[in-house]
Amino acid sequence: MVSIPIAEENIVTSKFSIVKNSKEKENFIKDVLYIIKNIDISDLSDSNKLEDTTNSLTLSLKNTWRMNSKQVNIMRYSKSWWNKECSLALSNYRSTRSLDNWKLFKSKVKLSK
């Protein structure tokens, strides 16, 4: 009999995301509106032209998403509420180890949640 140990493994996946109420979200929406307003629909007389137009629209929207989003690694312990302010406050605390910075970090975390 052969016994093969199987260790638990965390599988890291990623996705592209835009932070809610961020400047990137505003830019993304503006870019999408611009793209939609400027779709050339003057000649959609056959299926090939329609397909070309839809492919062009799809590509433009994908590029706009990639430009305004950032890649986020999703792990078992990821926190959806964690943001840049939390990271900066934690980094500041770690560099100084002061009680005031710890309290500031905790308040940023509480606000983010």
88-100 pLDDT per residue, tens: 898 899 899 999 9
- Tens-place pLDDT, residues 27-86: 999 999 999 999 988 888 899 999 999 999 999 999 999 999 998 776 666 677 778 888
Is the residue at 4 inside a domain? no
Q: Greater confidence, 73 or 26?
A: 26
Are 34 and 67 contacting, i.e. CB atoms less than 8 angstroms apart? no
> What is the domain count for the chain?
2
| Rounded Cα distance, 74 and 20, in Å | 17
pLDDT given at position 49: 92
Amino acid letter, 5: P
* 54 in the same domain as 72: yes
Is the residue at 25 inside a domain? yes
Q: Is the overall model pTM greater than 0.85, yes or no?
A: no
pLDDT given at position 38: 93
Q: Which domain holds residue 74?
A: 12-78
| Rounded Cα distance, 30 and 55, in Å | 20
* 55 in the same domain as 20: yes
